[in-house]
Chain A
Amino acid sequence: MDKMPKWADIVLIPLISLLLAAFFSALVILAIGENPIEALKLMVDGALMRSSGWGYTLYYATNFIFTGLAVSVAFHARLFNIGGEGQAMLGGLGVALCCLYVPWPHWSLAILGASVGAALFGALWALIPAYLQAKRGSHIVITTIMFNFIAAAILNYVLVELLRPVGAMDPASAKFPDATHLPSFQDMFSTEGNKMFRGAPANVTFFLALAASVFVWLLMWRTKLGYQIRAFGHSESGALYAGISPVRITVIAMLISGALAGMMSVNTTMGESERLILNSTEGAGFIGIAVALMGRNHPFGVLLAAILFGFLYQGGAELALWTSIPRELIVVIQALVILFTGALDNMVREPLEKLFIAMRRRNA
């Protein structure tokens, strides 16, 4: 029998962890001499009260859905893919090559092609650590960390030496052709008299992210492969006994994870900057860890957590604009969320379990 009802595991524990993170964030804001309630008001105003605010919130959320899904698929196979950042960087390279060197007739074809390019590059970048983990037993966390740095070096080299247009100063590729321009929310939802999402970068990739969430849900809970991945994550020896190949599952789970992380770049590189720049990922690969932990590795949870982090990101930008609180506040909040929902999970869980067992005894 379970120690706790399921709703407590899925809703109560993340909620308490989140409240703890929020409490400590408020303390931090107080400590630097600002008012946490005023700060929250500003964040809500800037991120949720105007359609352009939502346009930014959903733009960031799109990135975090992809990277959150990437981390959670790997988590299901009990693999900690900390290399989402590097996989997304290489994904960006895939997007750029697709957009620059293929003459696309229409954006709808271009986004499909770019997605394939991004997924392919991201998956390839995850393949080597996956192979080394499966075959040579090198720890995936360490190799994926190393691969983040190697990816940054490669991207730097490619942008400075190869893709940079002649005469350009900053390390970035040429601008993508107009045919690859993705419709933004402003293009899609504005009517004659009423401009919506003015100037916001949210674009059609958001729906691609939603589709990816549905895909991951179907894959993990409605296919044999998903079942095998989850079985492997629960018990490697059990999975082996059932005839599931650890090498195959490790490699496949990491390929899917890397592909999802890579596809994040469709949003940033094709949807926003429309050229490949040096730091387009901006740490989104790492935020995927917080998002997956908070979303309890379920696509729906990841979606909610991604929107929450999108709000924090946009709200944080507003704070930096109007107050003296720097954007790094978001990094602190992100750290607290990872700490409480991930590392200190037992701190919340154990007292709750005891409480539920005590309550059950009293009722019995």
Chain B
Amino acid sequence: MDFLTLLQVLDTSVRLATPLLLACLAGLYSERSGVVDIGLEGKMLAAAFFSAAVAFYSGNAWVGLLAGVGASVALAVIHGLASVTFRGNQLISGVAINFLAAGMTVLVAQSWFRQGGRTPPLEGDARFNPIELPFAIGPSDAAAADRPLSQLIAEAGPLQQFYSELISGHSSLVYLALLTVPFTWWLLFRTRFGLRLRAVGENPAAVDTAGVSVVWLRYAAVLICGVLCGVAGAYLSSALQAGFVKDMTAGRGFIALAALIFAKWRPVYALWACLLFGLFQALELRPDIIENVSGLKVQVQLLGALPYILTVVILAGFVGKAIPPKASAEPYIKER
């Protein structure tokens, strides 16, 4: 395998890791506050549809993004109501939200577009288009030289190849997702809000005693989770692909959940976990590469199941134990 092929695989990994990373960080906020969220998948799916639908009507991807975030936050509010206000079972609420999104997106898509549960394809500004970073070789250079882009990159030096192929040429949401990692670290570990958020996930009674509202903190976490899932969904339908198709999240919400456990609920580890799982997904698309490198015929199905298998192994505590926040999934009751 040559250097350029490697770069291409890594490039695809970054693209595929982005929705995982956003959803994983979304789950991180929620779970750090003691609210378990297995409804990441549903929130992403709802956001994917509404962002694509509104982007199609408005012709503006950013307006679509807002609509997607709105849909995802609406579902987050339901989850907040069920798990914080009414102290219900958070897991059951998550399951309900996943089904609600799976059904509603197709129902509304059919009613609005009559195309079998999909939106019409998005074009131009209705999508998040790749950004060309300064000094990188991109489509504009190819147009100027009147030669295919792949040829230009193949002739460049290795450093330029690395820069143009892997670093440059992603949509703005990819860079946004990457910036969310240090921001989340800073918010959780360097601010008063972060300290309280982590405390409420470990020992809500102590936070309550200190005179800080448990309910407010948990709602804040659940809403942040909704916003990030919304961005993840919008990225799926208007950056990674051009339009919404039925069930397009395809288990990504659960892979994100797996990555969250894999990362032991820490933001920087979450980045590595999501990039690793993104790499698996990228290799699933190119099984020929593994065959060329290792000489083995690798089962694509195995590669697809690898994130789940790794998570079970981690959960089992055979390779470093993953311990969730202590008050996970437990509703806080002020007076018994």
* Residues of A that sit less than 8 Å from B by CB: 28, 31-33, 80, 82, 128, 132, 136-139, 141-143, 145-147, 149-150, 152-154, 156-157, 160-161, 286, 289, 293, 324-326, 328-336, 338-339, 342-347, 350
* B117 at the binding interface (Cβ < 8 Å): yes
A142-B315, A157-B299 are contacts. A342–B96 as well, Cβ < 8 Å?
Answer: yes
Hey, which chain A residues are within 8 Å of B251, CB to CB? 149
What are the 7 A-B residue pairs with the smallest beta carbon separation, nearest first? A331-B103, A343-B93, A335-B99, A332-B103, A153-B305, A138-B315, A342-B92
Number of contacting residues on B, CB 8 A?
Answer: 47
> Number of contacts between A and B (CB, 8 Å)?
154
Min C-beta distance of A359 to chain B, whole Å: 23
User: Would A329 and B312 count as touching, CB distance under 8 A?
Assistant: no
Is B286's CB within 8 Å of the partner chain A? no
Let me know if A146 and B311 touch, CB within 8 A: yes
* Cβ–Cβ contact B91 & A80, under 8 A: yes
Contact partners of A339 in chain B: CB under 8 A = 78, 82, 93, 96-97, 100
Q: A331-B99, A332-B104 are in contact. Are A145 and B254 (CB under 8 A)?
A: yes
B residues engaging A (CB < 8 A)? 38, 78, 81-83, 86-93, 95-100, 102-104, 106-108, 110-111, 114, 117, 251, 254, 257-258, 261, 299, 301-302, 304-305, 308-309, 311-312, 315-317, 324
Instruction: Out of A146, A160, A329, A343, name the residue touching B92 (CB < 8 Å).
Output: A343
Are A153 and B304 in contact (CB-based, < 8 A)?
Answer: yes
| Residue from the list A160, A161, A325, A338 in contact with B96, Cβ < 8 A | A338
Question: Which residue from A326, A335, A343 sits with its C-beta under 8 Å from B82?
Answer: A343
Say which residue of B91, B98, B114, B316 sits within 8 Å of A141 (CB atoms).
B91
Of chain B, the residue at the smallest CB distance from A329 is B107
* Bound CA span A153–B82, Å: 33
| Chain B residues positioned under 8 Å from A325 (CB to CB) | 107
Cβ of A150 and Cβ of B305 under 8 Å apart?
yes
In the complex, what's the smallest C-beta–C-beta distance from A15 to chain B, in angstroms?
18
Is A328 in contact with B96, judged by CB distance below 8 angstroms? no
Contacting pair B87 A32 (CB below 8 A): no
Q: Is the CB of B107 within 8 A of A142?
A: no
- Residue ID in chain B nearest A327 by CB atoms: B106
Contact B99 A343 (CB under 8 A): no
Q: Is the CB of B110 within 8 A of A344?
A: no
If A32-B107, A342-B88 touch, whether A82 touches B302 (CB-CB below 8 Å) is no
A82 touches B91 (CB 8 A): yes
Question: Contact: A286 with B95, CB < 8 Å?
Answer: yes
- Measured CB to CB, the closest approach of chain A to B53, in angstroms, equals 14
Asked if A328 and B117 make an inter-chain contact with CB atoms under 8 angstroms apart, the answer reads yes
Considering the chains assembled together, what is the distance between the CA atoms of A343 and B254 in angstroms? Answer: 20
Identify the closest chain B residue to A331 (Cβ). Answer: B103
Q: Do residues A326 and B91 form an inter-chain contact, with CB atoms below 8 A? A: no
Main secondary structure of the interface of B (DSSP, over half): helix
In the complex, the answer to whether A330 meets B89 with C-beta atoms within 8 Å is no
- Nearest residue (CB) in B for A149 is B308
Please name the residue on chain A nearest to B309 by beta carbon.
A150
Chain B residues whose C-beta falls within 8 Å of the C-beta of A141 in the assembled complex: 38, 91
Of A28, A128, A330, which one neighbours B104 at CB under 8 angstroms? Answer: A28
CA distance A160 to B257 in the complex (A): 28
Judge whether A326 and B106 touch: CB under 8 Å: yes
Chain B contacts for A333, CB-based, 8 A: 103
Residue of B nearest to A345 (CB): B88
CB distance from A287 to the nearest CB of B (A): 9
**Contact at A142–B261, with CB atoms within 8 Å?**
yes
Given known contacts A138-B312, A153-B304, A338 and B99 CB-to-CB distance under 8 angstroms: yes
- Interchain CB contact (< 8 A) of A143 among B87, B93, B312: B312
Contacts A142-B315, A146-B311, A147-B312 known; A334 to B99 CB distance under 8 Å?
A: yes
In the complex, what distance in Å separates the CA atom of A160 from the CA atom of B299? 11
Q: How far is the CB of B240 from chain A (nearest CB, A)?
A: 20
Residues on the B chain within 8 Å of A80, using CB: 89, 91-92
10 new A-B pairs (CB below 8 Å) besides A286-B95, A328-B104? A132-B312, A146-B311, A149-B305, A157-B299, A157-B302, A324-B111, A332-B99, A339-B96, A344-B88, A347-B86
CB < 8 Å neighbour of A328 from B87, B106, B254: B106
Residues in A whose Cβ lies below 8 Å from that of B99: 286, 331-332, 334-335, 338
Docked-complex contact A132 and B95, CB < 8 angstroms: no
Within the complex, the shortest CB–CB distance from B275 to chain A, in Å, comes to 20
A180 → B minimal CB distance (Å): 28
A82 touches B95 (CB 8 A): yes
Cα A333 to Cα B104 with chains together (Å)? 10
CB distance from B107 to the nearest CB of A (A): 5
- Name the CB-closest residue of A to B99: A335
**Contact partner of A335 among B38, B100, B111, B312, CB < 8 A?**
B100
Q: A145, B38: Cβ atoms under 8 Å?
A: yes
B324 nearest CB neighbor, chain A only: A139
In the complex, which residues of chain A have a beta carbon less than 8 angstroms from the beta carbon of B315?
A: 132, 136, 138-139, 142-143, 146
A132 to B261, CA, bound (A): 15
Bound Cα distance from A31 to B305, whole angstroms = 39
CB distance from A101 to the nearest CB of B (A): 23
Cα distance, A329 to B324, chains bound together (Å): 36
A90 to B88, CA, bound (A): 32
Taking the closest CB of chain A, its distance from the CB of B151, in whole angstroms, is 37
Report the minimum CB–CB distance from A125 to chain B (whole Å).
12
Bound complex: CA A80 to CA B251 (Å): 20
| Residues in chain A near residue B111, CB distance under 8 A | 31-33, 324
Q: How far does the Cβ of A190 sit from chain B's closest Cβ, in whole Å?
A: 36
State how many angstroms separate the Cβ of A329 from the closest Cβ of chain B: 6
Taking a contact as CB atoms under 8 Å apart, the answer to whether B312 and A146 are in contact is yes
